[in-house]
Amino acid sequence: MSVVNSTRQGNRFKHGHARDGATSREYNIWKKMKDRCRNQNNEYWKWYGGKGVTVCDRWSGPDGFRNFLSDMGPAPSPKHTIDRIKPSGNYEQSNCRWATRLEQGRNTSRNIHITHDGKTQCVQAWLDEFGISKSTYLSRLCTYGWSRERAATTPPKRRA
């Protein structure tokens, strides 16, 4: 989505995205991102602004949305929303990406991450990669006392 207008005209914002019921997804995502970091009445504030997460000055000022869209580009699909690469970091170009719900769910501070062969990802991603069920993983941990890494990265034995 390109930025078209440089001034406010009619029901258009200066960044070229409509308002009053016709706002772009990216604009809504940007507004919600700022609100959860700044508005103590926002239902998600305690996990964002309440934990010290901020939006960078470049995305906050008078040209904030224009800069946000210039830095991030349009969302690749309707399934993508803004995600902080480092969950404890701020909203800024170097720490943000467009991600799906699945990618975001695997990038939370609640997840356990394992590094194997120089690659780090959450346990569920390893289980998916190696074709291991959650019950097999838990059995390996609880019954056999395997380490998290070994339990998540040892492919299951396939019976002939």
At 160 the pLDDT is 67
What is the C-alpha separation between 140 and 130, in angstroms, rounded? 14
At 157 the pLDDT is 84
Residues 55-101: pLDDT tens digits?
999 999 889 999 999 999 999 999 999 999 998 899 999 999 999 99
- Reduced to 3 states (helix: H, G, I; strand: E, B; else coil), residue 41 is coil
Average pLDDT, the chain: 86
Residue ranges of the domains in the chain?
Answer: 25-105, 113-153
What is the C-alpha separation between 49 and 71, in angstroms, rounded? 22
At 127 the pLDDT is 93
User: Please, what sign has the CA dihedral across residues 92, 18, 31, 106?
Assistant: negative
> Residue 97 forms beta bridges with which residues?
83
With a cut of 50, say whether residue 8 has pLDDT above it: no
**What tokens appear for 126 in the block?**
């390893």
At 16 the pLDDT is 55
- Tell me, yes or no, if the pTM score tops 0.95: no
Q: Say if residues 84 and 47 touch (Cβ distance below 8 Å).
A: no
Burial class (CB in 10 A: 0-12, 13-18, 19+), 55: buried
Residues 121-149: pLDDT tens digits?
889 999 999 999 999 999 999 999 999 99
